[in-house]
Each structure stands twice: as C-alpha cells, then as structure tokens.
Structure 1
C-alpha cells in the first residue's frame, strides 16, 4: 500500500495574537494524528513554504499571510487538495465575509463597509469597528465605539496604519457563542468564550459573563 504524502503549513506567529501556543498545539495535533494513521507529513512554516516553492498533492494549512494564501490558491488551481482552501481563507477576511453574509441573507448584526477615508454617517451605536482587509493582528484592529467621535478616531488610526477599508458591526447585547463545525459530518462544537480564558484581546468582557440564554443548536448548525 502506497504511503500518503501530505504537506503541512503552519501559521506565522504574527497571525496568532495571544494564541501562538494554542494554534501551534492544534496544528501539531493534526500532524501527529496523520502520522499515527501512517501518512508521511512534512511541515513547513509559511515563509519557508513560499520561498522553497514547495508542492504537494495534499496540503493542510493554518495559513494567514497573503503571499502564502496566493501560493496555496495557485496549487489548488493546479489540482492540489488544500485544506483549508485558500478561497475559504480569503472569504473569511472581514470585507468579503460581510459581503457574503449580506448577499446570502445570513442573519448577522447590521453591518456597513466603508473606506477609512470616508466619514461614518450611519446612526448605529454602540458598534464594533474592524479592519476590513485582514484578520485581526493587534488589539487596535477591532475596537468598540459608543459614538461618532470614537468611530472617527478609530478610522483615523486605521488610515495612519495604512488600512484602507473598515467593517462596522452593530453591537448586540447578549451571550457570545463560538462554534466549530465541519459540513457534511456530525462534528459540531460550541462554547461560551467567557468565563473561559480563550480570548485574543479580552474584548468579550464588554458583553460580560454568559448567562446561558436558551438557543437552538440545530438552528445554529443550519445557519
């Protein structure tokens, strides 16, 4: 029986703010399980994967760097099986994700996409102002605002840091629920990030400790 060869691409530390060890543990647990099943797994850091021009028929990754994702997309287009898909990673960036949620009628807080060079004219407070061109890398990439002045100050900071677009989400008071699922399987796991310590920047404290408000897990799976 031929050995299945797999390439693994880990996540750069700069894309795991306050979660370097957690993300590394997930990546290496997957690596260990694949090897336990008899697969040959070669692991690369994002930068090494790109610079060395690594190729493979099967690739699993936790990549976030734009250059790495472009490389994965190219290999995917050539027929490689890439998990997580580069196209899926791109769609999880704030701006395209918000566009997809709106286009497909997926329930979500009222949201606006604006250029950081423009004035914020909506009357939606409190709200969250998030960089729209990338995942959050530093605490200032996601900020809570209660008035127009605070929003404008956040947008000014984005402009100063070269961030061209922002996504603004209505703040909803209630329990924050995080979940993970794999489509087409029975895997689905949800939890309250508070009182857990699984927080990047501690912003969950704005909503406070979860109160256990009832909700339908089955309906959440459908959405």
Structure 2
C-alpha cells in the first residue's frame, strides 16, 4: 500500500516544494532560487523524487541496487522525497523546504494527509497511478525550487505550465473530499489564501533583503523571545 500511495503522490510533490520554499539567500545574496536548500540537497545521488514502483519488492530491489553500487552506504541514506518509514507502518514526505511559520507547517501536514487519504481511496477503487516521466517530474521540481510561489510551475498530470497558485488550487481541489471528511477543508483553503497574500518564507526573505541587509532577513526568519 505504501509504495502504491507513493506513486499517487509523485505528481503533487513539486507543489509542496513551491509552497514551502524558504531559502533564497546565501552568503548575503539572492541565489535566484526560492529554495536553494533543495538545489543543494539534490546533489545526493539518492535524493529527489522516488521512482514509480511496481511493487514493494521493486522498492526493495531499487534500494539493493543503490547499496550494491555504493550510491548509499545504508538504508538510512535513502533520501527520496517520499520514502517508506523504517520504524512505522507509514510513509515519510520529505520534499518540503522549512515552512516559515506554524500556520504553514500545519497547512503542509494537512495537505500531505489529504493527499495520502485521497490516494488510499483511489487504490480502494482499483485505480493505480499512471507512471510519470522522470524528466517531466524533475522539470516540475526545478521550477518549484526556482520560482516558489512567484512564478509558473508544472502540472505534471497535464504537462501544462501554470502559475503556482493555480497548481496549488488544483491540489486543494484534488483532495477536497478527504479534507471535508475530516473537517479541514475550510481551514486549509483559508491558510492557503493567507500564504498567497502574505508570501511564503522565500518571498518574505527577498522582500527584507531588498529593503535592507542580511540582518533584516534574519529578523524575518528568527523567532525572537518577547
């Protein structure tokens, strides 16, 4: 079930990266990327989107291959953005940058749960996720890291280039039934509207850097005691 859910989630993962992008500045300069942290992380050979798995056995075989070739030293170095937990009967969603606020963290968790519940419902109806070309998925990742909420992303399912706001609206529509079942839909919609209006961490950091110095950026990202 976990690997089949992973297949269903793959098209939506870049949208979560765009939403949580929060690392545009390094060494006092704007990198040009909303999530430079993601770009650094992708240097690991075991990072990024997981493959489309045919079965749990296929999942284990891919990991065994990485171990044989030395691209990972142990299973803890499986850094895919969706991976099976080694300790719990669940999956781990690891794609996000660092959400900038408590509200954004709760929103991320709500969207992830909605995606998983929606995937389980699809699988209960016998609907397997269609494979997504790795090239399309990586292009979607790159645009999410590059532009965050302030540009166009890739709708992996339709292969359309659309504003990130539209992409996230489609994600919300995709999981609406699951969120309504738990009473989370209205809160998630309002939280998403708030992030669009106020900006995510990347947008706020850039605004501070343009208006001042790195110290002003730190004021944005640091929680100071009252």
TM normalised by structure 1 equals 0.30
Question: Which structure's residues are more often strand, by fraction?
Answer: 1
- Give the helix-richer structure, 1 or 2: 2
Structure number with the bigger relative contact order (C-alpha 8 A, sep ≥ 6) is 2
Structure showing greater Rg: 1
TM-score with structure 2 length normalisation? 0.30
